[in-house]
Amino acid sequence: MPVFRIGDAADLLGVSGDTVRRWVDAGKLNATRDEHGRRIIAGADLASFARSLADEPGVGSGTSSARNRFRGIVTAVTRDTVMAQVELQAGPFRVVSLMSREAADQLGIEVGVVAVAVVKSTSTPSAMAFALRQY
């Protein structure tokens, strides 16, 4: 299971490191200490917390993407025999992707991993190409 340092968690949630530290100190986000005494957050805990923030207005630092790239944490993966639905929380944005199960398996997409969603939209709002890649 991946773990994240405070700064990495802050980047994924679209907030400052101080905000993440306050959440940890207040008991809203679970963190432990690594062998060097730094606070770390388990990927599954961060994914759960990110999902809980999705409905809170005003959380996150921006309202637009940088060149249609959304870096975030995978909060849910639902697989069947052919397809996989992947949910990504990128700051205040929740992005959902449908992809083949084979692609999700090959990319190692699991709850708690960092991924980047790349969105290419045409002039028609409902026509959108979407790619997801683990980092």
Q: What is the pLDDT of residues 29-72, one digit of tens each?
A: 999 999 999 999 999 999 889 888 765 654 444 444 445 778 88
Domains of the chain in start order, with CATH, are 3-53 (1.10.1660.10), 69-134 (2.40.50.100)
Q: Name the token pair of 14.
A: 């679209």
pLDDT at 129 over 80: no
Do 1 and 42 form a contact (C-beta atoms < 8 A)?
yes
How many whole angstroms separate alpha carbon 46 and alpha carbon 48? 5
Residue 81, phi then psi, degrees to nearest 5: -70, -25
DSSP string, 53-112: HTTSTT-SS-SS-BTTEEEEEEEEEEE-SSEEEEEEEETTEEEEEEEEHHHHHHHT--TT
Grade residue 121 by pLDDT with cuts at 50, 70 and 90: low
pLDDT confidence tier of residue 94, bands split at 50, 70 and 90: confident
Q: Name the percent of the chain lying above pLDDT 70.
A: 77
| Structure token digits, residue 112 | 């708690």
